[in-house]
Structure 1
Amino acid sequence: MGKRPTIQMVADRAGVSRGTVDRVLNNRSYVKAEVRTRILAAMQELGYVSPRDAHQRVLSESRFSPIRLGVILPNWPDDHFRNEVQRGIQTARAELTDFHVDVMLCHCQTDIPGEVIELLDQLVADGAQGIAMCAIANIAIEAKIDQLAAQGIPTITFNSDLPNSKRLCFIGQDYRRSGRIAAELMSKCIDPKGKILAAVGNLEFDGHRTRLDGFCERMHELGFDNGQIEIVETFNDYHTTYRKVLESLSRCPDLSAIYMANQSVAGCTEAIHAATPKARIRVICHDISESTKRLLRSGDVDLAISQDIYQQGYLPLILLRDLLQKGKSPAAQQPGSNISIFCAENL
């Protein structure tokens, strides 16, 4: 009989320390997505099951009643960001199957608040006992979450918060801080009198608005005035981003830098090439997709600020399961995911 797989064997196979494996086993957020994936693959290859999980699986049939959880995703394009969140959801769904947890996933087709409320009602009608969601900040949606809380149906927000609602907690980055970091980096790349374009996705999302607020707040502290910063809203759409960046460059041919607080970075860089192919415009963006990596390597993007998108899909379902089956309430203030800065040399 072969030796039973140990945590050290998993660490050796994944090329990490025992402590890093332990952080993954305990669902802590400060492990890079690619490292987490490597560790989970090593566990699967070795057939490793932690003592806690082995014990819980033995007891699951008798201890835990079946529960249903709902997830609502916004009207995101089918891109790296959405795929990473869904990968986290699918991992959590697979892990929770042994504990009789059924996960129902809904996608919004629009940014209309009424659609979110209809999906919440449908999930409850289908038996959802807890809900994880990312939605625009809207008073009707917040009121609906409060109503569900009064009915004993908890909600956890992820990626973009609804801080004025009675949601249990928020899973995501400290967006104000990430915006301030982007401003700090930007200020070191351009002349103090330089003009900046800030392109944000959708200001109705708390995460987008808070990130922009942090950026503008820090730029003002560093001596940049309102007249130096133009703000456009592009709704994470490639064509809208391309058009609005092109229009801005036409109005301000001496633009020094562009802050991309949305997902359509390629639309921005292609507009720069179309308008001013020889100009050197600094570009700072968020999140590390394959497209962003190519733009960093080509020099079209100078710096990118990352977040743990996978964890935002994974952790809300784990926390809801812990609450509903174990009675373990999550901390109202969850730790924000790591903020890492990437350039062409450290990808």
Structure 2
Amino acid sequence: MNITIKEIAKLADVSRGTVDRVIHGRPGVKPDIRKKVLAILKDFNYQPNLAGKALVQSRRNIKIGVVLSPDFNPFVEEMKKGIADEAEKISAFGVELDIEVIRAFDSSEQLAVLETLCEKDVSAIAIVPVDDESIRIRINEIVGGGIPVVTFNSDLPGSRRLCFVGQDNFRAGRTQGALAHILLREISEPKIAIITSTLHLACHKERVDGFQKKLSECTNFQVVACEENFDMDDVAFTLTSKYLETFPDLSLIYLTGGGIAGVARALERKNTGKFVRVLCHDLIPESRQLLYTDRIDAVIGQDPYNQGCLPIRILFDYLFMAKKPTNECIYTNIEIFTSENTSSLNLV
């Protein structure tokens, strides 16, 4: 049977309040007493009574707020599945999620959502943050007020968030740059167009930066355009059509976010007879099908399911067990998919 706080207090010759402060890492305990209590906890392999704590916490109406980016990209739906599955697991402990999806990559809208969550007295927040100083300041204020924050999918450098969960997006961009170099190595001065979801999210800026940095080390390339499509297929279609018209010798299109169906539709409609290479991110149904039919060259996946469930799990552990994440950045894998390793994947 698990040793109780009362028994630990008796063994350490301290009060139960002192033991509780040590367990939850709170101040007000002398170093020698803290060391003594921690040794007893270790000797008895003490594990908090989650069910009992959940009963106490549920009286406080524990809620975790979740702030998602616009869901134009099917990738977001995969993150939602991870969030939903983790929400079901922790519901047994009396925890609810309050999920908010912003309509645009807009800092003022995200600030309003954060204010709404704070007014609802949430105990923690998981957020895909807009990369803006006003968001950074507000998150720091929220953390300073005792509400832990985890960023996911896109980070917010300089904020006091508990940790970041997502891909190392600069390295992912460099990986795409290396793939572009391989694909274009026979072309002396390849022209490349970049379509990025938005430069208001750090993840897309980092992908663009990593991509261009790697290419600058490899070949004499020329980036002829870099524009936002906000994950929208129609905007990606319009931009791709414009690039094909303006740059007849375009060699490659690099898409950092959603919109791959629009890019493919524009290439098919133009049908110049010249093969334009395409690199993109996120293994969604559209990109799987386009890979399988050799319409695009490579996709980098980033495990959206775990990007959804891990932030919720981390915040739950922090709230109920005072367990901090082991690393400041918890990176998901950088997975490269081509037509050679997608034939057996479910294309539904």
TM range (shorter): 0.7 to 0.9
In structure 1, the partner of 2:264 is 269
Tell me how far apart the structure 2 counterparts of residues 238 and 83 of structure 1 sit (CA, whole Å): 16
TM-score (norm 2): 0.80
The alpha-carbon deviation at position 253 of structure 1 amounts to: 0.5
The alpha-carbon deviation at position 228 of structure 1 amounts to: 4.2
- What amino acid does structure 1 have at the position aligned with 2:301? S
Mapped pair 1:111 → 2:105: yes
2:341 match: secondary structure: coil
Tell me how far apart the structure 1 counterparts of residues 98 and 137 of structure 2 sit (CA, whole Å): 22
The 5 A counterparts of 1:198-217 are 198-217=194-213
In structure 1, the partner of 2:119 is 125
Q: Decide whether aligned partners of structure 1 residues 228 and 146 sit closer, same or farther in structure 2, where only a CA change above 3 A counts.
A: closer
1:75 match: secondary structure: coil
Mapped pair 1:148 → 2:134: no
In structure 2, the partner of 1:194 is 190
Q: Report Cα offsets for 1:77-118 as digits up to 9, x if no partner.
A: 1x4211111101101100001111111111112322111111
Q: Report Cα offsets for 1:232-254 as digits up to 9, x if no partner.
A: 22111111111111111111111
In structure 1, the partner of 2:174 is 180
The alpha-carbon deviation at position 121 of structure 1 amounts to: 1.2
Alignment partner of 1:70 out of 38, 59, 65: 65
Residues 286 and 306 in structure 1, CA contact (< 8 A), matched pair in contact too: yes
1:256 match: secondary structure: strand
Residues 163 and 330 in structure 2, CA contact (< 8 A), matched pair in contact too: no
* Identity value in percent: 30
The 5 A counterparts of 1:33-112 are 59=52, 65=58, 67-77=62-72, 79-112=73-106
- What amino acid does structure 2 have at the position aligned with 1:189? L
Q: Report Cα offsets for 1:178-204 as digits up to 9, x if no partner.
A: 100001011111124111111111011
Q: Decide whether aligned partners of structure 1 residues 61 and 253 sit closer, same or farther in structure 2, where only a CA change above 3 A counts.
A: closer
The alpha-carbon deviation at position 134 of structure 1 amounts to: 0.6
Residues 237 and 263 in structure 2, CA contact (< 8 A), matched pair in contact too: yes
Q: Report Cα offsets for 1:161-217 as digits up to 9, x if no partner.
A: 111211111100000001000010111111241111111110110000001100000
Alignment partner of 1:168 out of 150, 162, 170: 162
Tell me how far apart the structure 1 counterparts of residues 301 and 106 of structure 2 sit (CA, whole Å): 28
In structure 2, the partner of 1:324 is 319
2:100 match: secondary structure: strand
1:328 match: secondary structure: coil
In structure 2, the partner of 1:16 is none
Q: How many residues align?
A: 293
The alpha-carbon deviation at position 59 of structure 1 amounts to: 4.6
Q: Report Cα offsets for 1:32-51 as digits up to 9, x if no partner.
A: xxxxxxxxxxxxxxxxxxxx
Residues 201 and 263 in structure 1, CA contact (< 8 A), matched pair in contact too: yes
Residues 55 and 94 in structure 2, CA contact (< 8 A), matched pair in contact too: no
Residues 71 and 77 in structure 2, CA contact (< 8 A), matched pair in contact too: no
Residues 88 and 314 in structure 1, CA contact (< 8 A), matched pair in contact too: yes
In structure 2, the partner of 1:307 is 302
The 5 A counterparts of 1:210-249 are 210-225=206-221, 227-249=222-244
- What amino acid does structure 2 have at the position aligned with 1:144? R
The alpha-carbon deviation at position 332 of structure 1 amounts to: 4.5
- What amino acid does structure 2 have at the position aligned with 1:220? S
Q: What are structure 2's unaligned runs of at least 5 residues?
A: 1-47, 343-348
- What amino acid does structure 2 have at the position aligned with 1:188? I
Q: Decide whether aligned partners of structure 1 residues 342 and 61 sit closer, same or farther in structure 2, where only a CA change above 3 A counts.
A: closer
Residues 196 and 256 in structure 1, CA contact (< 8 A), matched pair in contact too: yes
In structure 1, the partner of 2:152 is 158
Tell me how far apart the structure 2 counterparts of residues 61 and 113 of structure 1 sit (CA, whole Å): 34
Tell me how far apart the structure 2 counterparts of residues 184 and 317 of structure 1 sit (CA, whole Å): 34
The 10-residue stretch of structure 1 (143-152 or 160-169) with the greater mean CA deviation from structure 2: 160-169
Residues 89 and 317 in structure 1, CA contact (< 8 A), matched pair in contact too: yes
Tell me how far apart the structure 1 counterparts of residues 232 and 81 of structure 2 sit (CA, whole Å): 22
Tell me how far apart the structure 2 counterparts of residues 333 and 222 of structure 1 sit (CA, whole Å): 31
Q: Report Cα offsets for 1:278-334 as digits up to 9, x if no partner.
A: 221111111111111110111111111111101111111111111111111123423
- What amino acid does structure 2 have at the position aligned with 1:247? K
Tell me how far apart the structure 2 counterparts of residues 215 and 279 of structure 1 sit (CA, whole Å): 23
Tell me how far apart the structure 2 counterparts of residues 266 and 174 of structure 1 sit (CA, whole Å): 25
Residues 113 and 136 in structure 1, CA contact (< 8 A), matched pair in contact too: yes
- What amino acid does structure 2 have at the position aligned with 1:317? I
Q: Report Cα offsets for 1:33-76 as digits up to 9, x if no partner.
A: xxxxxxxxxxxxxxxxxxxxxx9675555575552110011222
